C-alpha cells in the first residue's frame, strides 16, 4: 500500500493524541495528576492539537474534503464512518473536561465523568481506526488479530511517553508513570516484533491462482493492461525492497522502542531538569520512530490487486 504521508501522520498523531487524552482524562479527573493551568493547558493542547492536526491531515487524503461531513452517516456499516463519529463525539467530553480541569481547576464530579467519557471516546476512536485496517480482507498484513491491539498499545504507549515528558517537564514526574511508559514501550516493541514475525511467516491463501481462477501450477503476469502506472498501482501496488524494509525496521526499533526505553531508564536515575530533557527526547524519538513504523505498516502491506500485476 502506498504510504501516503497524510495517512501516516494522521494515524500516528491521533494515536498519540488519543492516548494522551485518555490518560489525562482519567488521571486528571481522578486528581492523580493535580490540576495546574499550564500543565493542563499544554497537556490538553497537545492531545487535542495532535488529534486535530491528524484529523485535518486525513482530510488531505480526500478527493472532495468539502464533503467530509457526509462521512458521519454510515456508522452502521463503515469503520471509517464510526471513526468519524467517535472522533468528533470525543471532542464533547474532552472539551468539557478541558474547561473544568484546565480553566476551572476542577476535578472529580462532572469533570471526572467528562474525563472518563473522553478517555472512553479516545479508546473507541482508536479502536475504530484500528478496525478500518483490520477489517480489510484484501490486505492480509492488516487483516489480522495483531492490528487492533497494535493501535491500542501504540496509542497508550505514545500517550504515556508524552504524558511522562509533560509531567517531567513540570517536575511532576512519577516513577509509576515512568515505569508504565517503559513497560508500554516494551510491550509495543514486543507486539511489533510479534506482528512482523507473524506477517513474515504469513501463508496467504489468496494467490495468483485464486485471483485468476486458474487452478494449479504457476500463474505469471505476461503483460499488464497498461504500460504506465495507473491508480491501482500508485495506490496499492507499492513495493518495498526487502533490504530497505529491514533497514527501516531497525530504525523503527531504535527510535520508537530502544532509545525511548533507554532514555526513560536514565530518567529514573536523573534529577530535574535532566530528567525532563531526557523524557522529552524519549517522546520525540518515539513519535519519529512511530512515523517510520506507520510508514512501514503501509509499505509492507500487500494488497491482493498486486497479484494481478505479478507483484
Partner 1 sequence: MTCLPSQGGKKLGLVIDLDTCVGCQACATACKEWNTGGHMAPLTDIDPYGGTVDGVWFNRVHAYEHTTEMGGRTVNFPRSCLHCETPACVTVCPTGASYKRASDGIVLIDEDKCIGCKLCSWACPYGAREFDTDVGVMKKCTLCVDRIYNDNLTEEDRVPACVAACPTSARHFGDLGDPRSAVSQLVAERGGVDLMPELGYHPTNKYLPPRAHTRRAASVPAKALEPVRAEGGFLGWVDRMLSN
Partner 2 sequence: MQGPPRGANSAPSQRPLADTRAPDEGDGVDTSPDISDSIAKTTCYMCACRCGIDVHIKDGKVRYINGNKDHPVNRGVICGKGSSGIMQHYSPARLKKPLLRTGPRGSGEFREIEWEEAFSIATERLSAIRRTDPKKLAFFTGRDQSQSLTGWWASQFGTPNFAAHGGFCSVNMAAGGLYTIGGSFWEFGEPDWDNTRYFMLFGVAEDHDSNPIKIGLGKLKARGAKVVSINPCRTGYNAIADDWIGIRPGTDGLFVFALIHELLKAGRVDLDYLLRYTNAHVLVIQEPGAADDGLFVRDDTRNPLAWDRVAKTPVSATDASAKPALTGSYTVDGRRCTPVFQLIADRYLDESYAPDAVAGRCGIPADTIRRIAAELAHVAFEQTIELPVAWTDWAGRRHQTIKGRPVSMHAMRGISAHSNGFHTCRAIHLLQVLLGTVDVPGGFRFKPPYPRSAPPGPKPSGRTIKPMTPLDGMPLGFVCGPDDLLVDEAGTPTRIDKAYSWDAPLAAHGLMHTVIRNAWASDPYPIDTLMMYMSNMAWNSSMNTVETIAMLTDHDEAGNYKIPFIIYSDAYYSETVPFADLVLPDTTYLERHDCISLLDRPISHADGPGDAIRHPVVEPDRDVRPFQSVLIELGARLGLPGFVDEDGSAKYGDYADYIVNHERTPGIGPLAGWRGKDGTSIGKGEINPDQLQRYIDNGGFWHHDFADDQRYYKMANRSYLDFAESMGFIPKAEPIVFQLYSEPLQRFRLAARGHGRVLPPQGDRQRIETYMDPLPFWYTPFEEAAVDLEKYPLHALTQRPMHMYHSWGSQNAWLRQITSQNRLFVHHRTGASLGLVDDDWVWIESINGRVKGQIKLVDGVNESTVWTWNAIGKRRGSWGLKDGAAESTRGFLLNHIIGDQTTADANGKRYSNSDPVTGQAAWFDLRVRIVKCAAEEAGFTEPQFERFQQPPHFEPSPQKLTFGAEFRRAREAAE
Q: Which of 227, 241, 243, 269 binds partner 2 (CB under 8 A)?
A: 227
For 31, 109, 129, the CA distances from 96, given in Å and listed in that order, are 16, 12, 24
- From the list 68-76, 184-192, 259-267, 272-280, the region that binds partner 1 by CB under 8 A is 68-76
**H or E element at residue 183:** helix 175-200
Tell me the three cell numbers of residue 135: 477489517
What is d(CA 103, CA 10) in angstroms, rounded to the nearest whole number?
Answer: 28
Q: What is the CA radius of gyration of the chain?
A: 21
* Residues of span 182-221 touching partner 2 by CB under 8 A: 220
Q: Which does 236 bind (CB under 5 to 8 A by kind): partner 1, partner 2, none?
A: partner 1
Pair 286, 185: CB distance under 8 Å: yes
Q: Is 222 in the site for partner 2 (CB under 8 A)?
A: yes
Q: Is 269 in the site for partner 2 (CB under 8 A)?
A: no
Shortest distance in whole angstroms from residue 202 CB to partner 1: 14
Q: Which does 137 bind (CB under 5 to 8 A by kind): partner 1, partner 2, none?
A: partner 1
Pair 30, 113: CB distance under 8 Å: no
State the DSSP string of 118-186.
HHHHHHHHHHHHHHHHHT-TTBTTTSSTTHHHHHHHHHHHHHHHHHHHHHHHTT---HHHHHHHHHHHH
Pair 293, 252: CB distance under 8 Å: yes
CB atoms within 10 A of CB 115: 29
What letter does residue 75 receive in the DSSP assignment?
Answer: T
Shortest distance in whole angstroms from residue 225 CB to partner 2: 6
**Residue count, binding to partner 2 (CB under 8 A):** 7
Shortest distance in whole angstroms from residue 226 CB to partner 2: 5
Tell me the three cell numbers of residue 207: 494467490
Q: Is 73 in the site for partner 1 (CB under 8 A)?
A: yes
Tell me the three cell numbers of residue 286: 518515539
Q: Which does 12 bind (CB under 5 to 8 A by kind): partner 1, partner 2, none?
A: none
Q: Is 77 in the site for partner 2 (CB under 8 A)?
A: no
Shortest distance in whole angstroms from residue 227 CB to partner 2: 4
Tell me the three cell numbers of residue 117: 467519557
What letter does residue 143 receive in the DSSP assignment?
Answer: S
Q: Is 84 in the site for partner 1 (CB under 8 A)?
A: yes
Q: Is 202 in the site for partner 1 (CB under 8 A)?
A: no
Shortest distance in whole angstroms from residue 238 CB to partner 1: 12
* Residues of span 124-143 touching partner 1 by CB under 8 A: 132, 135-139
Q: Is 63 in the site for partner 2 (CB under 8 A)?
A: no
Q: Which of 76, 176, 228, 241 binds partner 2 (CB under 8 A)?
A: 228
Prior bond of 208 cis (ω within 30°): no
Interface ranges with partner 2 (CB under 8 A): 220, 222-223, 225-228
- Contacts with partner 1, residue ranges (CB under 8 A): 1, 61-65, 67-68, 70-74, 76-81, 84, 132, 135-139, 205-206, 208, 210-232, 234-236, 303-305, 308-309
Amino acid at each position: 500500500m502506498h504510504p501516503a504521508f497524510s495517512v501516516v501522520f494522521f494515524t500516528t498523531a491521533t494515536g498519540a493524541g488519543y492516548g494522551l487524552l485518555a490518560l489525562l482524562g482519567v488521571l486528571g479527573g481522578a486528581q492523580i495528576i493535580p490540576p495546574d493551568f499550564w500543565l493542563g493547558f499544554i497537556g490538553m493542547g497537545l492531545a487535542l492539537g495532535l488529534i486535530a492536526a491528524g484529523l485535518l491531515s486525513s482530510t488531505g487524503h480526500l478527493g472532495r474534503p468539502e464533503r467530509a461531513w457526509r462521512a458521519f452517516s454510515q456508522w452502521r456499516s463503515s469503520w471509517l464512518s464510526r471513526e468519524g463519529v467517535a472522533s468528533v463525539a470525543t471532542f464533547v467530553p474532552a472539551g468539557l473536561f478541558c474547561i473544568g480541569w484546565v480553566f476551572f481547576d476542577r476535578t472529580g464530579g462532572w469533570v471526572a465523568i467528562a474525563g472518563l467519557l473522553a478517555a472512553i471516546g479516545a479508546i473507541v476512536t482508536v479502536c475504530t481506526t484500528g478496525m478500518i485496517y483490520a477489517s480489510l480482507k484484501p490486505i492480509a498484513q492488516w487483516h489480522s488479530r495483531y492490528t487492533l491491539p497494535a493501535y491500542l498499545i501504540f496509542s497508550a504507549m505514545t500517550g504515556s511517553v508524552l504524558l511522562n515528558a509533560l509531567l517531567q517537564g513540570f517536575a511532576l514526574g512519577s516513577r509509576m508513570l515512568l515505569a508504565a511508559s517503559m513497560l508500554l514501550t516494551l510491550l509495543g516493541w514486543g507486539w511489533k516484533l510479534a506482528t512482523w514475525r507473524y506477517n513474515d511467516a504469513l501463508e496467504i491463501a489468496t494467490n495468483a491462482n485464486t485471483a485468476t481462477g486458474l487452478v494449479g501450477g504457476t500463474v505469471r503476469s505476461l503483460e499488464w493492461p497498461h504500460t504506465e502506472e495507473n491508480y491501482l498501482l500508485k495506490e496499492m501496488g507499492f513495493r518495498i525492497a526487502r533490504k530497505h524494509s529491514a533497514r527501516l525496521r531497525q530504525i523503527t526499533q531504535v527510535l520508537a522502542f530502544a532509545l525511548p526505553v533507554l532514555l526513560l531508564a536514565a530518567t529514573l536515575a536523573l534529577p530535574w531538569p535532566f530528567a525532563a530533557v531526557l523524557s522529552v527526547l524519549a517522546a520525540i524519538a518515539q513519535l519519529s520512530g512511530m512515523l517510520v513504523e506507520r510508514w512501514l505498516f503501509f509499505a509492507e502491506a500487500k494488497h491482493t490487486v498486486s497479484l494481478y500485476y505479478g507483484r
